[in-house]
Structure 1
């Protein structure tokens, strides 16, 4: 962040994020070496506190990037966002994984040798769910996206059916909240496009195809929502550029209040469909971004989703056929056969 022009760092949103990371550095700098379980518990308290404080980082960053266009070009802003968010993911994954493993260590069944066959902890290694079922996650995301679409367009709106095809018994290890965020954004975009494009009583279905291979899983989401506007298409993966900058900025201004406390989420953590109920135990700004009010369009869903997909050595591509619809292709590498795609110091310094 110190490579940005001074005028950019004085932006209130960028400055907020800078100060948050500086405070985190000061907290961890003063944590003594962990030698005992008591030391580790104190360290975990510091981790949890910092994770919660940083729930506002993504929306504040996005607002700051939109406001500093006069001093930093759009291309440079996008490079900065991609580098910083990838680093943020790696830090949060390490922190949340440590907290989850610590929670497992303190579980009553950990030492008694009587693990329950149905204990959810058996399926997790920290935050990683060993048996993510593609069909179940798509269905869960489809239900949540449908609920939000009904809230946005009214309970009487005709929603397209979401038809699943392909290898429906596919399972793979993954962090559920990351996958649910990506699929939730894709399905939500498709539902909204079809609802706004079609006035017929029976809108065409959204087809989700699951393909399993030895090294990866591909999920294709196909809709007939008319495709993407030509003026928006060039800026589909950009955080900073595009024709709807002021509208995005206004909508993003409503998100920090949602991300500030877990109680403010559209879907509370206790809700069975919330991302917090699927392995995200320690708070995530992804929950607030996916559970935001249904009429709030932020313009960061697709670029955020691509960063999360690419971090785990996957990919996200979208093909639009103007006047007809879109095909989105999410490739998921099976965790364990690829390293995370980390940000190196060289790429940070090149921002």
Structure 2
């Protein structure tokens, strides 16, 4: 491997090849004991593959002089979508197995609660947009308080309005990752712009709009907008003026699950007594102020995978409006054909 010009991508290839060979020889599952052994394999593989994202990102950056940037971005997006497919299937199997093994799974169980019924595997049936925004906003605020250079600076408030009762089924960790990245970007931008001001920083304004097919969240800040030299590369994994800094920062992150759990803050699901913790939870972490330059493109991959969208509009010198459109999972207009094509990659 040391002689390869792209050792990081070679490592990713070998991980997937090893996983394929491991799963290929697993015998047919005919009993609960067989399934438990299979689940042990899944847990080990999920943990082992936490190194995939940072190695993929580093490998793509290292190849930026060998291939056109647009081609590398397509490569990265395709692999990440395929990775989401596989992890969702594995996580869902583990979650459903744990549900089956839980005492409240059976109708006559006295330990069953309404909260237990809110999950189907990893899918949370009652995601509340307001609660997710407020929870992720608090995480972003707490993270900024932890950084030495900003610990004494005032933290911008988060105001939420609109359809505050909007709920929808979704994989909670995916939604929290997207919203968490957007909230952290906004809070950090506002604090940096107003760090020398005697006036309190303006709040982050969030508007929630619910339609029959979608829930749309607009996150608006007055953090000065996105610098002009960064804006053209906002959604790219492989190009931009801060490539070397991103490489150095990625070198400090050996594993990455791309969930908000990496920040070691309990999510609503973890707080509900009796629920399993997914294999992604609390396995990885990174410094809160370490910028990897891939939060936005990763968030867009997650949003688009579930037939949603993520767009940013920047007004240089003023601020940013981020529009996150969430497609309600299970809706009859869900883009099943599109995602099936992605899953087949």
Same fold (TM over 0.5): yes
**Which residue of 86, 89, 92 maps to 1:94?**
89
**Which residue of 179, 182, 186 maps to 2:178?**
182
Distance 1:101 1:123 in 2: 13
Q: Deviations over 1:280-319 (max 9, x none)?
A: 823338974xx52122000000000000000000000000
Q: CA deviation at 1:113?
A: 1.4
Matches within 5 A, 1:1-351: 10-111=5-106, 113-114=108-109, 116=111, 118=113, 120-152=115-147, 153-198=149-194, 199-200=196-197, 201-256=199-254, 259=256, 267-268=263-264, 271-273=265-267, 281-284=277-280, 288=284, 292-337=286-331, 338-340=334-336, 341-342=338-339, 344=341
TM-score, normalisation: structure 2? 0.90
Q: Superposition RMSD on alpha carbons, in Å? A: 2.7
Q: Which moved more, 1:110-119 or 1:168-177?
A: 110-119
Structure 1 stretches lacking a partner, 5+ long: 1-5
Q: 1:189 to 1:280 in 2, by over 3 A?
A: farther
Distance 2:68 2:129 in 1: 39
Distance 2:3 2:299 in 1: 26
Q: Deviations over 1:143-183 (max 9, x none)?
A: 11111112223321111111001011111100010000000
Q: CA deviation at 1:277?
A: 5.6
Aligned 8 A contact 1:220 1:329 in 2:
yes
Aligned 8 A contact 1:8 1:71 in 2:
no
Q: CA deviation at 1:15?
A: 1.1
Distance 1:32 1:347 in 2: 23
Q: CA deviation at 1:11?
A: 1.3
Count residues with an aligned counterpart: 335
TM-score, normalisation: structure 1? 0.88
Q: 1:95 to 1:219 in 2, by over 3 A?
A: same
Aligned 8 A contact 1:145 1:188 in 2:
yes
- Partner-residue secondary structure (3-state), 2:105: coil
Q: CA deviation at 1:273?
A: 4.8
Structure 2 stretches lacking a partner, 5+ long: none
Q: CA deviation at 1:10?
A: 4.0
